[in-house]
Every structure is written in C-alpha cells, then in structure tokens.
Structure 1
Amino acid sequence: MPVFAIPFPVIDPVALQLGPLSIKWYGLAYVAGLLGGWWYARRLAATEQLWGGRARPSPDSLDDFLLFAALGVVIGGRLGFVLFYNLPEYLANPLEIFAVWKGGMSFHGGLVGAAAGLWVFAIRRGYPPLSALDLGAAVAPIGLFLGRIANFVNGELWGRPAPDLPWGIVFPHGGPVPRHPSQLYEAFSEGLLLLVLLMIVVKMGGLRRLGLVAGLFGMGYGIARTTCEFFREPDPQLGFLFGTSWLTMGMLLSVPLFLAGLFLVLRRKGPARA
C-alpha cells in the first residue's frame, strides 16, 4: 500500500437485516433526507416574517408536499439515470428500468422530477409554484448531504486516483490506488455548505422574492457539483465526454441547472402578496 493511504473503514452497507429483508444505509439516507426536509420546511412555512406576506404552502399541507417531492425524486432520478448514464443498456433490457433496487439514480433527474412534483402540488393547492420551489430548494441540501454520506458508506462513486494525497482512501472496489474521497467533498459542498448559505439567505429575507432561493440553489449546486467532478472518477460506461480528458456528464448536466438558477436570480421580481 502506498505511504499516503487510508484504508476504507469497514462499514456494512446493510444497516439492518430482518430475515430476507435488508435495510441499507442508502435507503435510510433517502428517508432521513425527506423527513428532515419535511421538518425544516414546516418550520420555514410557519414563520410568517420570513415570507413578507407571500403566499406559500401552509405547514398542514406539507404532508402532500413531501409526497409529491418524494415521487418526483424517485421517478425523475431513475429516468435521469436511464436517459443520461446508461441508455443503451436499458434499451437492450427495458425491464431493468424498473429494477430500482439494483441502484442507479441521477441527482439531476431527481431534481427535475422533484421540481415537477412540487409545481403540480402548488397548482393543485393554489400556491405560486415558485413559492413551493423556493421552499423545496431551501431544504434540499439536507438530502444531498445524507445521500453523499451514504455513497461513501457504500464505497461507491469514489474519486480519481490521488497517490500522494495524505487523506487518500483505498476503496474496496476502486483498486489498490488511494483516491479522493469525492463523496465527502460533495457532502460538504453540495450539502452542508449550500444548506448554511441558503439558511443565511432565508434569514436575510430571501423567501420574500419569488424564485430567489430556488435560483441560488441551482447556481450553488451547479458550481459545487462541477468543482467536485474534477476530483470524482467519471462513470465507467461513459468516461470523459467528447474526447476530452476532463468533461463529465455531471458537469454537462450542471450547466442548464446553473443557467436556470441564474435566470431566476436575475428576474428581479419583488415580494408577491397573497
């Protein structure tokens, strides 16, 4: 083993085994992220002074808010992975599309699915859709943080080789070379850091302007994900795109997300009254 190498901690991906039923840390991360986001969203929705009179989802409606968001994440995340990360494989074996227990989710697809779900939720409830998107964006980094931690526990989506890095980790399925723990980089930047920054924006009155928090989330995630992609090993079935030695699918999909976020931030639409 190289001098600079940290063995991967022995962590069982299965959190709990109940007979034939396996409960994995990754699934628990999804559940905890959704429930944590639901709890935080209730607190935000119930705090009138944060909204400045804007119409927004009521705390009592957030059970449906959670349901629409969860369905959007699962459906969009799976379809995004199928379309952007392994389409030839799924075209050859279309029934595998439904085998979600085998893994394969795309964050960008999950984000689009969640946004669509929250848009439908808002229309059905009579709220401005951007209010629902702002609320969802404010809490989304909770799930991102937990999801990336679960990626690390699973020993998947590891980073590029870093043989001289003092904190390089030898992952169980990543060969003998120490690698960047890119999952932890993403947990910090896309999750914890983005959550704190959006908390500050919310405290400063960000929820009073339609689309601002959602836009800043899109821009922040796009920047964080693109930066982390320079340390993350590209998906083996795709590799680097267009003959480059640096461009990945994660970077490419982050561009429209950043631009959509920039558009929302620059709309300059002031507070909307109920």
Structure 2
Amino acid sequence: MRAVIPFPDISPELISISLFGLEFALRWYALAYIAGIVIGWWLCVRAVRATRLWPDATPPMEPRQIEDLATWVILGIILGGRLGYALFYQPGYYLENPGQILMIWQGGMSFHGGLLGVVLAVLAFCARNGIPLRPAADLLAMATPPGLLLGRIANFINAELWGRATDLPWGVVFPGQMAQDCGQPLGELCARHPSQLYEAALEGLILGAVLLYLVWRRGALKRPGRVAGTFFSGYGLARFLVEFVRQPDAQFVAAGNPLGLAWHVGGYGLTMGQLLSLPMLALGIALILTAPRRT
C-alpha cells in the first residue's frame, strides 16, 4: 500500500463553552482572522514609526490613524469576502436566497472578494483623510501575508479547500465523504494535495518574507507602489499555480468538465481562482513598472 499521511486529530474549535443552554465556541478560523489583523496592525504601526523607511522621512499616516483604518479594513474583509463568494462562486443560489448572503457563520468566503472589499475601503479612507493611495497600499500589502498564512493553516485544520487526489508521499487523507470520493479502488483511502499548506507557504511565508525584506532592507517604501505591486503579482502567481492541484468548488464540476474549469475550450481552460488571479497579476506588474525608479 502506498504511503499516505493521516489527517491530524485537531478539532476546528479551540475552546467550547455552554451557557444557558447555548453553545459558544472559539474556532481556529476566527482566531486566525483576529491574529492576522492584530499582527498586520502591529507591522503597520512599526513601519510608520520608522520614518527612515519613507520618502523625505514622512510616513503617509500617523499610528493613531492605523487603528481607524483597521476598522475599515475589517468591514471590507467581511463584507467583500462574503459578497465575493456569493457573486463569484454561487450567484444562482444566492439570487434565489438573498437572505442567506449575510449568514457568514454558515461558511463561504472569497479571498478575491475580500481583497476587493479592502481596496474599496482603503480608497474611501484615503479620500476622506487626504492620505496618498500608493503609500497606504504599500503599508497594507506588507501587513497582509501573516493573515494569509494563519488563514490557510486554519483551512487545513477545518479540513476544507483540500486539493486534488494525488499519489505523492505527502498526500493527506482528509476526513469526510466528499474528500474520500475521488474514484479510487474500493477499500483504498483517497489522499489529496494539502493545497491549503501550499498556499500558506507561498502566499504567507515566502511572500511575507520577500515583502519584509524589501521594506526593511531595500527601502522599497521609498518607491510608492513597489511593495503593493510585489504583493499583487506574488499572490496572483502563487494562487494561479496552486489552482492546478486544488480541488475546484463542486458547482463547477460536471460530467463534461471533471476539472471544474470556469472557462474552457476543448478541455483546456482556467479555474475560477485562476481567472480572478490574472487581474491581480496584471495590476501587480503595472504597479511595479510605474513605481518611481529612484528613491
């Protein structure tokens, strides 16, 4: 029998408390959101206090403004992530059931939707407070990868968003009937790519390390748009590649489309995640090319 890695025995709930007949639980996924926002806020405050990192030693905002911006960002993440999931992945269902769009506790969030929500929130915040957009975008781009790292690890703990079936030695046997339904011979376990951990490494760990290096060692914040461009293009490329081994959403899989391609011609095409990543990649390259060449 080929080697596989059993799924670790980790509960999605960190703690659970019963009060007055109701069950209250703190889930790893919620904790990842909270920790990611707190770490991002801390990184932003450190950066604006280090005036040497900015052109003319002038940060785009003050530390107290970071707290106000964090509130806008949180709303952008939640509303944008939920609306993006409804529009990009299940528009037909939510058009028939609009009352369920705001039921975020039932699951279903889109990173690309959350990113769009954050972009709109930052645009509004910067316009309202007279803050230059590119430096603010650089600041948030630097602070985002820790949240991506923790969020993808939480996806793994939740045994969700797993990858396609694989016979590689690091394939993970995820629990659940859907994860075990991959057309394998009767009696054998279905091992899948731990695509959540691939994304955690690429989008969180590696991209985060690159951005911190550019900011703190290469003076990238003195070239407005360079850090944000590196983030957009780095995430877009990482997500595009991981989509090749990530199991697509069930609504895209059909008898004539077993790979779950959202757009295809003659059996070749792109998944929804790849389609949404291409504009990010293009925007990132454009920001890098238009960033000032001199600090």
What RMSD over aligned residues (CA atoms) do the two structures have, in Å?
1.4
1:177 equivalenced with 2:190 (yes/no): yes
Structure 2: runs of 5+ lacking an equivalent: 181-188, 253-259
Question: Out of 28, 46, 64, which is 2:31 matched to?
Answer: 28
Count of aligned pairs: 270
Distance 2:134 2:27 in 1: 34
Structure 1 equivalent of residue 163 of structure 2? 159
Residue 4 of structure 1 aligns to a residue whose secondary structure is coil
Displacement of 1:236 in angstroms is: 1.0
Task: Give a deviation string over 1:218-246, Cα, whole Å, max 9, x none.
Answer: 00000111111111111111222234356
Cα gap change, 1:104 to 1:195, in 2 (>3 Å): same
What are the within-5 Å matches in structure 2 for residues 1-274 of structure 1? Answer: 2-19=1-18, 20-53=23-56, 54-162=58-166, 164-173=167-176, 174-175=179-180, 176-203=189-216, 204-238=218-252, 239-243=260-264, 244=267, 247-269=270-292
Residue 193 of structure 2 aligns to a residue whose secondary structure is coil
Contact 1:4 1:178 in 2 (8 A): no
Contact 2:51 2:59 in 1 (8 A): no
Higher relative contact order, structure no. (Cα contacts within 8 Å, ≥ 6 residues apart): 1
Structure 1 equivalent of residue 255 of structure 2? none
Code of the residue aligned with 1:31 in structure 2: it is: I
Code of the residue aligned with 1:5 in structure 2: it is: V
Task: Give a deviation string over 1:73-124, Cα, whole Å, max 9, x none.
Answer: 1111111101101111101111110111011110011111112112222222
Residue 210 of structure 2 aligns to a residue whose secondary structure is helix
Distance 2:82 2:16 in 1: 25
Distance 2:172 2:262 in 1: 26
Code of the residue aligned with 2:132 in structure 1: it is: P
TM-score (norm 1): 0.95
TM-score (norm 2): 0.88
Structure with more helix by fraction: 1
Which is greater in Rg?
2
Displacement of 1:263 in angstroms is: 1.1
Contact 1:119 1:132 in 2 (8 A): no
Task: Give a deviation string over 1:234-270, Cα, whole Å, max 9, x none.
Answer: 1111222234356211110000011111111111336
Contact 2:171 2:194 in 1 (8 A): yes
Contact 1:33 1:143 in 2 (8 A): yes
Structure 1: runs of 5+ lacking an equivalent: none
Contact 1:210 1:271 in 2 (8 A): no
Distance 1:206 1:159 in 2: 35
Contact 2:263 2:271 in 1 (8 A): no
